[in-house]
């Protein structure tokens, strides 16, 4: 059974300073000694979580996407994180899944954080992105999506009204989740792993942002039983974890709770 090596970069961000953030992340990526296949950056990694997208938004032909393509190609890894994108005069909080050859997929954040006014500035996405790597299926989501279990939920394939195959093996959440609500972050990452019987990786930032919100990280890797495999409690940290498909399949075989799940459709 295959393994999958994932590296998360938990770090402070330079507020509204793309060039400084890209330089910082390149230095951190160059410092990674562990063999890895996927590198995960936080939400809005080039700017911080800002609600004035106009001056900061880029197109898909902009400098940040070009930088992601270059880094992925040079390091021969998959690079992911979310960026402010202007697409046809609409602003999106867009996660980009950049492959080593320069091709990419993307996911636009579905659940906008109305508490901070994100719903007034950004357009919601209307579809999920489930990527495939070495036989692993990966559901890619952003921060506030974590609070909405239906959007994160497995939708198995069925044959003769029997669930036969799960939709994904891993969920990745990129985030700017503040310290004052970190209990919800930790609890929900474990909940999403347990209910979906999959691995979950959550990569958060640290430091104080331009709105004086403190972030203490708590980036986590959780196994399909909800056990925490690693947690970056506070401060900048680069962590690499190897996920094992054999362990995943063993859990699903021994505890086939997923076969008893309700069938549903999401109406957008």
Kindly name the residue from 43, 58, 118, 198 that is annotated as catalytic: 43
Cβ atoms of residues 261 and 21 within 8 Å: no
Residue 33 is a catalytic residue = no
| 183 vs 256: CA distance, rounded Å | 29
Among the listed residues 37, 58, 109, 118, the single catalytic one is 109
Please give the angle made by the CA atoms of 71, 72 and 74, to the nearest 5 degrees: 60
Rg (CA), the chain: 18
Is 109 catalytic? The answer is yes
Rounded Cα distance, 217 and 179, in Å: 8
Residue 25: helix, strand or coil by DSSP?
Answer: helix
Q: d(Cα 84, Cα 49) in Å, to the nearest integer?
A: 9
> For 197-254, where are the alpha helices, taking DSSP H only?
245-254
- Look at the block and give the residue holding tokens 């990745």: 172
> At CA 188, angle to CA 198 and CA 255, rounded to 5?
35
Whether 127 is catalytic is no
Q: Which residues are CB-neighbours of 228 under 8 A, at least 6 positions away?
A: 190, 220, 221, 222
Q: Which of 37, 58, 118, 143 is catalytic?
A: 143
Tell me which residues are annotated as active site: 43, 109, 143
């Amino acid at each position: 059974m295959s393994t999958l090596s994932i590296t998360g970069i938990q770090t402070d961000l330079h507020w509204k300073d793309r060039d400084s953030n890209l330089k910082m992340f390149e230095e951190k990526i160059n410092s990674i000694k562990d063999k890895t296949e996927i590198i995960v950056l936080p939400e809005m990694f080039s700017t911080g979580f800002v609600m004035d997208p106009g001056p900061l938004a880029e197109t898909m032909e902009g400098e940040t996407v070009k930088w992601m393509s270059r880094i992925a190609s040079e390091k021969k890894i998959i690079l992911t994180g979310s960026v402010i994108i202007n697409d046809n005069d609409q602003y999106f909080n867009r996660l980009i899944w950049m492959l080593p050859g320069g091709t990419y997929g993307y996911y636009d954040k579905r659940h906008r954080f109305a508490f901070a006014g994100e719903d007034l500035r950004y357009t919601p996405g209307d579809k999920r992105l489930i990527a495939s790597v070495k036989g692993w299926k990966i559901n890619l989501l952003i921060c506030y999506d974590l609070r909405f279990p239906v959007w994160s939920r497995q939708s198995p394939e069925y044959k003769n009204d029997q669930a036969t195959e799960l939709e994904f093996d891993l969920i990745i959440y990129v985030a700017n989740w503040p310290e004052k609500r970190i209990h919800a972050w930790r609890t929900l990452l474990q909940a999403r792993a347990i209910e979906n019987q999959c691995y979950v990786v959550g990569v958060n930032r640290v430091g104080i942002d331009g709105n004086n919100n403190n972030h203490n990280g708590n980036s986590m890797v959780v196994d399909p039983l909800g056990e925490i495999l690693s947690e970056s409690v506070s401060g900048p940290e680069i962590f690499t974890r190897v996920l094992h498909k054999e362990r995943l399949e063993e859990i699903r075989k021994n505890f086939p709770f997923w076969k008893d799940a309700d069938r549903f459709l999401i109406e957008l």
